[in-house]
Amino acid sequence: MTTPILKLAPAVEVLIIEQINAEFNAFYTYQAFQAHFDRHDVALKNTAAFFKKSAEEEIEHARMFISYLNKRGGSLFKRD
Ligand SMILES: [Fe+2]
């Protein structure tokens, strides 16, 4: 276990957690679009591929924010 270099201010930690949730919400929305366009009765494969890539980008954003949160001593599981 390493000691955080500089712990986040609580208000900043909350904002980062909100941003992580926004990234996951964006992921879910793009993933739902991907699933829709990939249906056999829609079959817009290139559009589905576009939204799949977009969904994967949002997950990566969430992971980067989670990593930053952890580096700064924050936690997704906020304890008061
Ligand atoms: Fe994002």
Domains of the chain are 10-71 (1.20.1260.10)
Q: What is the DSSP string of 5-72?
A: SSPPPHHHHHHHHHHHHHHHHHHHHHHHHHHHHTSTTT--HHHHHHHHHHHHHHHHHHHHHHHHHHHT
**C-alpha 53 to ligand 1 mean position (Å):** 12
DSSP tag of 3:
-
Whole-number percent of the chain with pLDDT over 70: 91
Tell me, in angstroms, the distance from the centre of ligand 1 to residue 28's CA. 12
The pocket of ion ligand 1, defined by CB under 5 A, consists of 23, 58, 61
The pLDDT tens digits for 18-45 are: 999 999 999 999 999 999 999 999 999 9
Q: Does 80 have pLDDT greater than 70?
A: no
| pTM to 2 decimal places | 0.87
Q: What pLDDT, on the 0 to 100 scale, is given for residue 2?
A: 64
Whose structure tokens read 């576009």? 50
Q: How far is the CA of 52 from the centre of ligand 1 (A)?
A: 14
pLDDT band at 61 (very low <50, low <70, confident <90, very high): very high
Ligand 1 geometric centre to CA of 48 (Å)? 18
| C-alpha 14 – ligand 1 centre gap (Å) | 17
Rounded average pLDDT over 69-77: 92
Per-residue model confidence (pLDDT) at position 11: 95
